[in-house]
Structure 1
């Protein structure tokens, strides 16, 4: 093995492949290759990395897939030129924040098939990251800091234990593929319809009952949603409660209407009350009359044809969430919205 590395040193090589060689540790002489840009160490029995790898400051790609690592080696956090890091099929349980914080040039990070329960908030430091894959782990939540990754194109979180996704996911404007199949999701983040580049969405095998408001505005090419608990269009008798709004709701609706008029005195003085601005930020718009309201009065659903409304090949329909401001709007003739019955 040493002879192989020495020959590579004499050839001034920039790429070294030591895959599938039954290695239990990285040969020390690898650190003698300072010009190395690609190092393949996958399919071995490596359980740790030597500190001497610090000398590989020109390393751009490192493949440690299918080894015996139980943690992300600390030395990786000092390889500041690294752009592609593959750590799939190891025994990793945690991703140290100090390691992630040092990989600011990383473009691809593959952590598939490990035992990771959470990702550190420092993942927001990976501002150049385009491909993040944490398939088949034990993630229970995704830190909101992931939403700072505006260059992120592919996010694969398939086969984890996620019950929700960060509400700010719509900030990842570069996202083209989102894979979250086989989790425990009961809903998708509102605002997801504003992802301009999203083409592939896989939410199969979750607990979704409907898709978020405006979902049909996405320009998807592929949508996978089998094995969910989507509501069905089944006529049922309804019981309407007496429509009584709280004083807070009535005032909020008045302020929200005034806020739409730039010349309104209410609109001009609103910035003087930051707590009120924060409260009104959670307002919605009625799907029928388009009036603003604060508290969801009536949650409805309309059924979207993937072929007709989203220009997809599938002839299936999906339920998309819609919000109405009152029973008055709900009882208006001609709209396509159905109330959602609870059983």
Structure 2
């Protein structure tokens, strides 16, 4: 090991490979390699990093995978040039917020196979992050701030304890791969249609009953969804109550309809009433008549074939959620939506 460091020091090397050397402590002399851009320390027994490593201001890639770290070393927060950071297969339980604040140029972050229960909101500091992998941890939730990482291309949260995903996730418009298999998800948040570049979705081994609205309009190439609790198309008798809309709902539907007409008085005046605009923002439209409504009148499902409807190789049929504004639309001939019965 010493020979490798000396050789790098006198040769002006920009990379140093100390992987699989049974290293327990990183030699402080490594901090003298100020031109280092790549440092490989994986497959060792390292429990901490010396503070002197903050002198490695040119370092762009650091691999600390398969060591004995119990938290993300604080010194990493001072390595502002880091673009790739690998911390897989350690014993990490904590990700200090102050460390993330200093990693604003990070592109790849791999925290696989640790014991992390939460990611701090300060993850929003990683504005250039493209690949985030926290596979096989103990995550119980993901912070809303993840949606601020708008350059994310791939997220892997497989094998955790997640029961929900934040709706802000769909602000990551460049996302192409979403892996959330083997969690405890009962639903995916509405708005996934915004991810127009999404190609791969893996939700296998969760507790999903159906996919969110307009899921079938995504340009997916791969979908893995085995081992969920999807609703099935079975005949069940239904009871249709008399439709009685509240005055609030009637007015909301009128305003929403008028707002579609850019020349209408309602459309021009609505920006002057921000609280009303905020209320109407939660509205939706009927899958049959396309008319707007504020609250869900009838929750339905339709069954989509991956090969026929989404041009994928598999011929699997999946349930996709749909909202209808009234029983009038529900009973219309030719529509392909089914009411959802609970047992």
TM-score bin, normalised by smaller chain: over 0.9
Alignment of 1:185-264 (within 5 A): 185-264=185-264
Which residue of the partner structure matches residue 274 of structure 2?
A: 274
Tell me how far apart the structure 1 counterparts of residues 205 and 242 of structure 2 sit (CA, whole Å).
38
Tell me how far apart the structure 2 counterparts of residues 224 and 80 of structure 1 sit (CA, whole Å).
37
**Corresponding residue SS for 2:300:** strand
Shift of 1:3: 3.0
Which residue of the partner structure matches residue 28 of structure 1?
A: 28
Query: Does structure 1 retain, via aligned residues, the 8 Å contact 2:4–2:16?
Result: no
Q: Deviations over 1:78-108 (max 9, x none)?
A: 0000000000011111111110010011000
Shift of 1:263: 2.0
* 1:109 and 2:132 matched: no
* 1:10 and 2:17 matched: no
Which residue of the partner structure matches residue 93 of structure 2?
A: 93
Alignment of 1:78-89 (within 5 A): 78-89=78-89
* 1:310 and 2:313 matched: no
TM-score normalised over the length of structure 2:
0.98
**Corresponding residue SS for 1:302:** strand
Shift of 1:7: 1.6
Q: Post-superposition, which runs of at least 4 consecutive aligned residues in structure 1 deviate over 3 A?
A: none
Shift of 1:160: 0.6
Query: Does structure 2 retain, via aligned residues, the 8 Å contact 1:2–1:29?
Result: no
Shift of 1:144: 1.1
Shift of 1:124: 1.2
Which residue of the partner structure matches residue 75 of structure 1?
A: 75
Query: Does structure 2 retain, via aligned residues, the 8 Å contact 1:104–1:127?
Result: yes
Shift of 1:23: 1.0
Alignment of 1:41-80 (within 5 A): 41-80=41-80
**Corresponding residue SS for 2:178:** strand
Which residue of the partner structure matches residue 125 of structure 2?
A: 125
Which residue of the partner structure matches residue 146 of structure 2?
A: 146
**Corresponding residue SS for 1:98:** helix
Which residue of the partner structure matches residue 175 of structure 2?
A: 175
Shift of 1:183: 0.5
Query: Does structure 2 retain, via aligned residues, the 8 Å contact 1:302–1:336?
Result: yes
With 265-274 and 69-78 compared, the bigger mean Cα shift is at 265-274
The number of aligned residues is 343
Shift of 1:192: 0.7
Q: Deviations over 1:99-137 (max 9, x none)?
A: 001001100000001111111111111111110000011
Query: Does structure 1 retain, via aligned residues, the 8 Å contact 2:159–2:182?
Result: yes
Tell me how far apart the structure 2 counterparts of residues 157 and 101 of structure 1 sit (CA, whole Å).
22
**Corresponding residue SS for 1:300:** strand
Long gaps (5+) in structure 1: none
Long gaps (5+) in structure 2: none
TM-score normalised over the length of structure 1:
0.98
Tell me how far apart the structure 2 counterparts of residues 198 and 168 of structure 1 sit (CA, whole Å).
15
Shift of 1:4: 2.6
With 265-274 and 218-227 compared, the bigger mean Cα shift is at 265-274
Query: Does structure 2 retain, via aligned residues, the 8 Å contact 1:287–1:322?
Result: yes
Tell me how far apart the structure 2 counterparts of residues 3 and 313 of structure 1 sit (CA, whole Å).
54
